[in-house]
Amino acid sequence: MTLNTGKFLRINLSSGKIVEESVPEKIARDFVGGRGYGIKYLYDELAPNVDPLGGDNKLIMLNGALAGSSAQAVSRWMVCTKSPLTGAFARSICGADFGAWLKFAGYDFIIIEGKAEKHAYIHMTKDSCQILDASELWGKDTRETQEWLKEHHGSNSRTACIGPAGERLVKYAGIFSDRRTAGRCGTGTVMGSKNLKAITVTADRTVRLHDPEAFKKLAKEQVELIRESRAFQFHKEWGTTCTQDVTNKLGIYPVRNFRYGQQVGYEKITGAEYRKLRTGGIGCYSCPAHCGKSHKAVDGPYAGATTEGLEYESIWAFTGTIDSTNIEASILADHLCDDFGMDTISTGNTIGFAYELYEKGILSKEDTDGLDLSYGNHATMIALIKKIALREGIGNILAEGTMRAATIIGKGAEAYAIHVKGLELPAYDPRGTKAMGYNYATASIGASHCYGYARQDVFGAIQPRMTDRFAEEENADIVVYNQNGTAMTEIGVVCTFAGGWDWVPSHFGKMLAAARGIDELADNDYLQQVGERIYTLERLFNIREGLGRKQDTLPQRMLTEPLHTREAPGEGQIVRNQDKFLDRYYQIRGWTKEGVPSSEKLEELGINI
Amino acid sequence: MTLNTGKFLRINLSSGKIVEESVPEKIARDFVGGRGYGIKYLYDELAPNVDPLGGDNKLIMLNGALAGSSAQAVSRWMVCTKSPLTGAFARSICGADFGAWLKFAGYDFIIIEGKAEKHAYIHMTKDSCQILDASELWGKDTRETQEWLKEHHGSNSRTACIGPAGERLVKYAGIFSDRRTAGRCGTGTVMGSKNLKAITVTADRTVRLHDPEAFKKLAKEQVELIRESRAFQFHKEWGTTCTQDVTNKLGIYPVRNFRYGQQVGYEKITGAEYRKLRTGGIGCYSCPAHCGKSHKAVDGPYAGATTEGLEYESIWAFTGTIDSTNIEASILADHLCDDFGMDTISTGNTIGFAYELYEKGILSKEDTDGLDLSYGNHATMIALIKKIALREGIGNILAEGTMRAATIIGKGAEAYAIHVKGLELPAYDPRGTKAMGYNYATASIGASHCYGYARQDVFGAIQPRMTDRFAEEENADIVVYNQNGTAMTEIGVVCTFAGGWDWVPSHFGKMLAAARGIDELADNDYLQQVGERIYTLERLFNIREGLGRKQDTLPQRMLTEPLHTREAPGEGQIVRNQDKFLDRYYQIRGWTKEGVPSSEKLEELGINI
């Protein structure tokens, strides 16, 4: 029986040439699938130093080795490319059904090359692939685009697409499927640069596995393991909508552009508060967690606004960044980013950066089209999201991300740009979870929490050991463990929310072996090495692009400003000059240096003793 | 027409001798009344270095120059003595009706000397004064005592008394009238040391004024001025039950024995939360503010507990000190302190001190009679209040106050004793309002917020000028201004809650002149100098007792530990060792010092480039 190494389509938008290829056995053994295939093909095929937004860059969209199967929570998919934000390797993961559908069409991935002359979209089935005219789609938001494509290609279709922000090359545009996003690193920007609006897959739900019988049994067991997982149970209940409770408590919830680690009034944005506005839970393909909680604003100026999702990172992006505790504004902001097609983390972080520049006087109302960027002003945040997406006024600068915007603005703005390698920091302050922070500093894609999430620091995970979250080089092994382990699961593509860390150790390898027909995959050590191999090849990619130790750095603020856990002007105060005070106080009172009323003063007051 | 300088009774408990005297004109001109008379008579009559709890100490109870008149909010009264807590001058102010009743009986003050052989109480009318047997009263709480005395002397009587804590010489016992307290400095301890349980005054509501017609007109105008005062309106609405909202916001709400300036979860103890449990408002004699808000616990283990009052300081004393946010516990604790007759500030502060010693391991369960003094444990706080009042077990040590308890306990406990001159600090962290802090350091009686309340720092008062609340010697003039101004109003005795700072400048002097018949009092500069004279004489008293510059100091914690505005272990963190981290991280990964994967590692992973 031949191995199931996976097939892919190479789609050249410049030439219109479309070729189907199989993954060679050697690559399948070494890289297995998902992120492994992503870096392997990108490394091998991309010439060094190409323009990320030029025709030479490639956009690889991949599902994992288990996608579309009867296993649960393994059908996430990802985009690998060279990032226009960082100039480094990019991988950005997305949920929903698109990854499973790509597999149903018979493919583990597609490599999109070149650049379409006119606005185009791709339509794929099991038997066909067409590059079609997108002139009717161009300008539509992500929801409209998907509706249009479902109308034209049937309900058995799934789409990944960009919105107006991707069309305008906003540097942190994402690729959307349903309301899920491959948000980070500007994957949507690369897609926009190729004049590609969408990829739609029409397919029936069949998937090829090497050993379907063995797989079926393993998948059944996996369902039980997931059900028992506390992480699964937690995310089923809450998704990530209450992580702000944890991070505020730990003092690592970044407020006012990473000046503070706790938000004054955060009791207004707790998980319980969001829950009051919850309207439902939405799951990705074959996942019972339904962790994507949808919300609807009921009261206030944003009443009626709805959003599917609003994960922790997005909650933060539209509250802590600008020091607003208006939940409704965060719902609308998330909705707008989804419609326009932008990464919420980079959007929120960049807006928080602009608010600080405004506070510091580096930006004035003349620069902001008259907008008032005072902390807490959520109406301005809403306005800025639209301006960024459409590159209007100040939005045209902020659309470049903090690193480039700081260069454009000058006047010392770069001190306030909170990014690593150009990728904006997410919602965990590095100073309060150093293992997370150093993961940001060293992650192949820049400041990504998902790249090596420090579960030990944040949630007290005890694998591989407990951590002191303020320790630095002492936790270097933890950072490596988290990064390699994550790379390993992303060959899956396993979702950790559905208890991934609980079922992976006993089951993942066996399932991979049954799916691919490569027995070594059942060996945990082998798999771990695959993770390390992926990580190492990503590093080689970045080195080839000129990145090295110098770029493995956190923003200056993290290295020079102590973390303050709450805004309070008294923080850190001490009584320093008691002697000077007493000197002056006694002098004013007409007392001696020893504090004894002088005879002159006594005479003045008519006190005779 | 003779001047109305005031009369007083000299009551010697040792000899039983009772003498009525008039205040000489010179003293009335120089010291006017209230606190002025208090320090003048104490300074003149007390030999240096007497034992505060011996028969040589004197207890002076005084109303103000305007007490019992038709003017509003001027009938507070005070106790002056030598403090057993500080060994310094003591003045402690109380509300309710007792001060007015003392005036109705014809007196500006009484001087209690000596020590009764048996438990005694004093009963006064306009025409008589008797030292009576208190054997039936001894052991009763303050409420029972007052009820008993009203029963025996009629409803036209008012009482000032001590509770079981005063009987047992708890160092911070207070003197109570209704549920109001002359709480600070151990005035009740001095009274207890004299075997004196209570003073009851039976009298009709008449008062002698020098120029009743002129006074009547001024009093009418004063009513209007008070009604317009925003301070009055605010205190009428809230009393001080929401000051914690302000101080938490400023980061000066002392938490965990002055380690933090904000309380985690303080949203559970806001003014709005207390308001939910409010049952009414209680006023002192002739005051429309009714600022004493009473509360009742509805739910939880303390359901049914009630208290009249619970001022800001008491709210803090039973929440922040031990890091509890249980409102109901604070209500019960306040009730108990009122019943037992103890100062809530020193009680709460001392308990918070004990909790920190427990945390530090200086006290263990063996020392605490098995009680668990972990932060947040409000049940232990309730138990400790009883133990302190009755001097049981660990309570017998804590009854000595933080300074003496630290000496008894040893093991470095004194580093955690937060007092000035022996008087425990109230609920404003000195590091976040330096003018308040330096007032603590220099106030004649030790750490009293009322002695020179830094309204400029806390509420943004603009008289005499705005302040930077972190400035130190730059605000020495403000401290002097607040202290002298307070001394001046306390000849009144003016209550500042009822808009005192609003009507005093235009009216106080004129009213004093009409009441006393001393025209100079209408001159504001003259009055200001009276305040300074009082303050200076208090200083001379303290110097005579051996206190000086060395004792004008804040606790070490304020001088050495930066204020942290909220408990969060990440506070102040910074990323320090990025280079060391990268060295170790690269080493673990098998990368060179420059972060490039080594050829050995590549070989190991089977990566050929």
**Do residue A570 and residue B605 have CB atoms under 8 angstroms apart?**
no
Tell me whether A543 touches chain B (CB under 8 Å).
yes
**Do residue B568 and residue A261 have CB atoms under 8 angstroms apart?**
yes
Cβ contacts from A onto B, under 8 A: 254
Return d(Cα A35, Cα A182) in angstroms, integer.
13
Give the nearest partner residue to A549 out of B562, B582, B601, using CB atoms.
Answer: B582
A347 contacts A337 by C-beta, under 8 angstroms: yes
Ramachandran quadrant class, B233 (left: phi over 0; alpha: psi -120 to 50; beta: rest): alpha
Q: Tell me which residue of B387, B436, B90 sits closest to B254, measured CA to CA.
A: B436
**Do residue A473 and residue B262 have CB atoms under 8 angstroms apart?**
no
For residue A605, report the phi and psi dihedrals to the nearest 5 degrees.
Answer: -90, -5
Instruction: Identify residue A324 by its one-letter amino acid code.
Output: S
Q: Which two tokens stand for residue B460?
A: 């943004």
Return d(Cα A596, Cα B319) in angstroms, integer.
39
A351 contacts A417 by C-beta, under 8 angstroms: no
Residues in chain A where the model's pLDDT stays below 70: 1, 566-572
Tell me whether A442 touches chain B (CB under 8 Å).
yes
Q: List beta partners, residue B60.
A: B80, B111
Task: Identify the pLDDT of residue A569.
Answer: 52
Give the CA radius of gyration of chain A: 27
Residue of A nearest to B484 (CA): A589
Q: Which two tokens stand for residue A459?
A: 């949630």
Tell me whether A167 touches chain B (CB under 8 Å).
no
| Residue A222 vs residues A4, A212, A227, A600: alpha-carbon distances, Å | 21, 15, 8, 91
Return d(Cα A587, Cα B556) in angstroms, integer.
24
Tell me whether B589 touches chain A (CB under 8 Å).
yes
Q: What is the SS3 assignment for B236-301?
A: HHHCCCCHHHHHHHHCCCCECCCCECCCCCHHHHCHHHHHHCEEEEECCCCCCCCCEEEEECCCCC
Ramachandran quadrant class, B376 (left: phi over 0; alpha: psi -120 to 50; beta: rest): left
CA geometry: angle A426, B596, A171, nearest 5 deg: 35
Return d(Cα B115, Cα B118) in angstroms, integer.
9
| Crossing angle of helices B524-544 and B476-489, rounded to 10° | 100
Whether pLDDT at B532 is above 70: yes
The share of chain B scoring above pLDDT 90, in percent, equals 84
Q: Which two tokens stand for residue B240?
A: 């001080």
Alpha carbon of residue B176 to chain centroid: 13
Whether pLDDT at B555 is above 70: yes
Instruction: Identify residue A403 by its one-letter amino acid code.
Output: M
Q: Tokens 């279709």 belong to which residue?
A: A157
Burial (CB count <10 Å: 0-12, 13-18, 19+), residue B565: buried
Of residues A264 and B57, more confidence is placed in B57
Q: Tokens 């909202």 belong to which residue?
A: B245
- Distance from the B554 Cα atom to the nearest Cα atom in chain A, whole angstroms: 8
Q: Which two tokens stand for residue B62?
A: 């005084």
Q: Average pLDDT, stretch B226-244?
A: 93
Return d(Cα B353, Cα B424) in angstroms, integer.
10
Task: Identify the pLDDT of residue A471.
Answer: 85
**Do residue B563 and residue A573 have CB atoms under 8 angstroms apart?**
yes
Which of A169-178, B148-157, B532-541 is predicted with the least confidence, judged by mean pLDDT? B532-541
For chain B, the straight-line distance linking the first and the last C-alpha, in angstroms and rounded, comes to 113
Tell me whether B366 touches chain A (CB under 8 Å).
no
- Distance from the A453 Cα atom to the nearest Cα atom in chain B, whole angstroms: 16
For residue A608, report the phi and psi dihedrals to the nearest 5 degrees.
Answer: -110, 120
Ramachandran quadrant class, A315 (left: phi over 0; alpha: psi -120 to 50; beta: rest): alpha
Whether pLDDT at B8 is above 70: yes
pLDDT tens, residue by residue, B271-308: 999 999 999 999 999 999 999 999 999 999 999 999 99
Return d(Cα B352, Cα B348) in angstroms, integer.
6
Task: Identify the pLDDT of residue A571.
Answer: 64
CB-CB neighbors (< 8 A) of B569 in chain A: 250-251, 432, 470
- Distance from the A595 Cα atom to the nearest Cα atom in chain B, whole angstroms: 5
**Do residue B585 and residue A442 have CB atoms under 8 angstroms apart?**
yes
Return d(Cα B298, Cα B306) in angstroms, integer.
9
For an interface test with A, the pick among B433, B532, B585 (most A C-beta atoms closer than 10 Å) comes out as B585
Q: In chain B, what is the greatest distance between 2 CA atoms, to the nearest angstrom?
A: 114
**Do residue A563 and residue B584 have CB atoms under 8 angstroms apart?**
no
Q: Average pLDDT, stretch B455-483?
A: 90
Q: Which two tokens stand for residue A528?
A: 């771990």
pLDDT tens, residue by residue, B160-195: 999 999 999 999 999 999 999 999 999 999 999 999
Whether pLDDT at B572 is above 70: no
**CB proximity list for A214: less than 8 A, separation 6 or greater:** A514
- Distance from the B454 Cα atom to the nearest Cα atom in chain A, whole angstroms: 15
- Distance from the B1 Cα atom to the nearest Cα atom in chain A, whole angstroms: 26
| Residue A312 vs residues A264, A331, A343: alpha-carbon distances, Å | 18, 12, 13
Whether pLDDT at B574 is above 80: no
For an interface test with B, the pick among A581, A591, A592, A600 (most B C-beta atoms closer than 10 Å) comes out as A581
Whether pLDDT at B467 is above 90: no
Q: Tell me which residue of B124, B151, B135, B112 sits closest to B17, measured CA to CA.
A: B112
For an interface test with B, the pick among A488, A565, A583, A594 (most B C-beta atoms closer than 10 Å) comes out as A565
Q: Which two tokens stand for residue B403?
A: 């300074």
- Distance from the A3 Cα atom to the nearest Cα atom in chain B, whole angstroms: 21
Q: Which two tokens stand for residue B531?
A: 């305040």
pLDDT tens, residue by residue, B88-113: 999 999 999 999 999 999 999 999 99
Return d(Cα A545, Cα A470) in angstroms, integer.
32
Tell me whether A26 touches chain B (CB under 8 Å).
no
pTM over 0.80: no
pLDDT tens, residue by residue, A157-213: 999 999 999 999 999 999 999 999 999 999 999 999 999 999 999 999 999 999 999
Return d(Cα B422, Cα A428) in angstroms, integer.
44
Give the nearest partner residue to B430 out of A472, A575, A591, using CB atoms.
Answer: A575
pLDDT tens, residue by residue, B322-362: 999 999 999 999 999 999 999 999 999 999 999 999 999 99
Output the average pLDDT for chain B: 94
- Distance from the A552 Cα atom to the nearest Cα atom in chain B, whole angstroms: 8
With the CA atoms of A297, A299, A300 and A304 taken in that order, what torsion angle do they form, in degrees rounded to the nearest 10? Answer: 40
Which of B239-253, B526-540, B560-574 is predicted with the least confidence, judged by mean pLDDT? B560-574
